[in-house]
């Protein structure tokens, strides 16, 4: 990836995640992203064709608890500390679908 594409990708992700970054931060994250991709390229160079996949061994039996209904809080208690609520629902800024 070119540095310009990496920078554009960082800017797009910050916009989608509703973050405000300074130019220096965009540059920093762009460089970190480049380093991550470089590390992944190094991992792709490792010959693993004769290496068996690792499977997590679970020696002990699963201990499952019974599904017993328990008390919960009321809707009013859930939203009483919300910055903004309307009609018993949390109100949050729209982030999906904005360009």
Q: Tell me the backbone φ, ψ of residue 90, rounded to 5 degrees.
A: -75, 140
pTM of the predicted protein model: 0.45
Taking the C-alpha atoms of residue 90 and residue 88, their distance in angstroms, rounded to an integer, is 7
Where residue 38 sits, what CATH number does that domain have?
1.10.20
Matching residue, tokens 């809080």:
73
Residue 91 has pLDDT above 90, yes or no: yes
What pLDDT is attached to residue 99? 58
Residue 4 has pLDDT above 70, yes or no: no
Which of 14-23, 33-42, 63-72 shows the lowest mean pLDDT across its residues? 63-72
Residue 81 has pLDDT above 70, yes or no: yes
Instruction: Flag whether 87 is in a domain.
Output: no
Number of domains in the chain: 1
Task: With CA atoms as reference, report the closest residue to 79 among 65, 66, 89.
Answer: 89
Instruction: Flag whether 65 is in a domain.
Output: no
Task: With CA atoms as reference, report the closest residue to 95 among 10, 12, 15.
Answer: 15
Q: Tell me the backbone φ, ψ of residue 61, rounded to 5 degrees.
A: -70, 150
Domain range for 14 is 1-47
């Amino acid at each position: 990836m070119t540095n310009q594409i990496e920078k554009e990708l960082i800017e797009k992700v910050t916009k989608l995640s509703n973050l405000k970054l300074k130019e220096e931060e965009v540059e920093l994250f762009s460089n970190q992203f480049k380093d991550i991709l470089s590390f992944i390229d190094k991992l792709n160079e490792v010959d693993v064709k004769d290496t068996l996949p690792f499977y997590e061994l679970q020696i002990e039996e699963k201990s499952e608890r019974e599904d017993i209904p328990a008390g919960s809080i009321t809707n009013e208690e859930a939203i009483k500390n919300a910055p903004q609520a309307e009609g018993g629902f949390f109100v949050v800024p729209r982030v999906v679908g904005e360009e």
